[in-house]
Chains A and B, each alone.
Chain A
Amino acid sequence: MLEVRGLFSGYGKIEILHGVSLEVKESEIVALIGPNGAGKSTVLKTIVGLLKGKGSILFKGEEISSLSSHILVGKGLSYVPQGRIVFPRMSVLENLEMGAYLEKRREKIEEALQRVYGLFPVLKERKEQKAATLSGGEQQMLAMGRALMQSPSLLLLDEPSLGLAPKYVSLIFQKILEMRKKVTMLIVEQNAARALEIADRGYVLELGQNRFEGSGRELLNNPEVRRLYLGG
Chain B
Amino acid sequence: MPVESAVTLLQVAIGGVLLGAVYALLACGLNLIFGVMRVINVAHGELMMLGSYTTFWLFFLLGINPLLSLLFSIPLMFLLGMGIQKFLVSRVVKAPELMSLLVTFGISMFILSLALYFWSADFRSVPYFTGSITLGSFAFSRPRVIAFGIAVVITLAVYIFLKKTKLGKAVRATSQSSEVAAICGVDVERIRLLTFGLGSALAAAAGSLLVVIYAVNPSTGQTFILKAFAIIVLGGMGSFLGAFIGALILGLAEAFTSFFFTAQLSEAVAYLLLILVLLFMPSGLLGERE
Contacts and interface: CB of A to CB of B under 8 A. Distances in A.
B62 interface: no
A97 B185 contact: no
Interface residues of A, number: 26
Contacts of A73: 183-185
A89 B172 contact: yes
Interface string A51-80: 000000000000000001110011000110
B170 interface: yes
Contacts of B187: 68, 70
B35 to A, nearest CB: 10
Contact of B183 (A81, A88, A90): A81
A78 B183 contact: yes
A99 B170 CA distance: 11
A87 B180 contact: yes
Contacts of A88: 176, 288
B116 interface: no
A87 B183 contact: no
Contact of A90 (B172, B186, B188): B172
B91 interface: no
Contacts of A102: 185
B179 interface: yes
B177 interface: yes
Contact of B184 (A49, A89, A99): A99
A79 B183 CA distance: 7
Contacts of A50: 179, 182-183
Interface in B139-172: 166, 169-170, 172
Contacts of B166: 101
Contact of B186 (A81, A101, A147, A150): A101
B126 interface: no
Interface string A4-23: 00000000000000000000
Interface size class for chain B? 10 to 19
Nearest to A102: B185
A99 B187 CA distance: 13
A85 interface: yes
A115 B209 CA distance: 50
Given A87-B172, A94-B169, A97-B169, A74 B177 contact: no
A48 interface: yes
B286 to A, nearest CB: 10
A203 to B, nearest CB: 22
B102 to A, nearest CB: 21
A81 B170 CA distance: 18
B182 to A, nearest CB: 4
A87 B185 contact: no
Contacts of B170: 98, 101
A94 B163 CA distance: 10
A97 B164 CA distance: 12
A40 interface: no
Contact of A98 (B179, B184, B188): B184
A164 B188 CA distance: 30
B173 A70 contact: no
Given A49-B182, A50-B183, A81-B180, 20 more contacts: A69-B183, A70-B184, A70-B188, A73-B183, A74-B185, A81-B179, A85-B177, A85-B180, A86-B180, A87-B177, A89-B172, A90-B173, A97-B169, A98-B181, A99-B184, A101-B166, A101-B170, A101-B184, A101-B185, A147-B183
Interface of B: 166, 169-170, 172-173, 176-177, 179-188, 288
